[in-house]
Structure 1
Amino acid sequence: MAEINLRRARQIIKGIMARGKEMDLKPLSVIVLDSGGNVKAFERDDAAAPGRFAIAHGKAYGSIMLGMAGKAQMARAEQQAYFMA
Structure 2
Amino acid sequence: MSTITLKSAHRLIEAASAEAERIGVPMNIAVVDAGGNLTAFHRQDGAWIGSIAISQAKAYTARAFDMPTADLQPMVQPDQPLYGLEASDPGNIIAFPGGIPLTQDGQIIGAIGVSGGLVDQDQQVAAAGAAAL
Corresponding residue for 1:56?
A: 55
Q: CA deviation at 1:77?
A: 1.1
Q: Which runs of 4+ in 1 moved over 3 A?
A: 82-85
Q: CA deviation at 1:82?
A: 3.2
**Backbone CA RMSD of aligned residues:** 1.5
TM-score by length of 2: 0.58
Q: Which runs of 5+ in 1 are unaligned?
A: none
Q: Which fold has the larger relative contact order, with Cα–Cα distance below 8 Å and residues 6 or more apart in sequence?
A: 2
2:26 equivalent to 1:15: no
Corresponding residue for 1:47?
A: 46
2:86 equivalent to 1:84: yes
Work out the percentage of aligned pairs sharing the same amino acid.
Answer: 31
Answer 1 or 2: which has greater strand percent. Answer: 2
| d(CA) in 1 for partners of 2:60, 2:9 | 15
Answer 1 or 2: which has greater helix percent. Answer: 1
Q: What's the CA shift string for 1:5-53, capped at 9, x where partnerless?
A: 11100000000010112223x2100000001011110000110111222
Q: Which runs of 5+ in 2 are unaligned?
A: 88-133
Corresponding residue for 1:69?
A: 68
Aligned length, in residue pairs: 84
| d(CA) in 2 for partners of 1:49, 1:82 | 26
| d(CA) in 1 for partners of 2:48, 2:76 | 25
On the 8 A contact 1:76/1:83 being kept in 2, the answer is no
Q: CA deviation at 1:70?
A: 0.9
On the 8 A contact 1:37/1:64 being kept in 2, the answer is yes
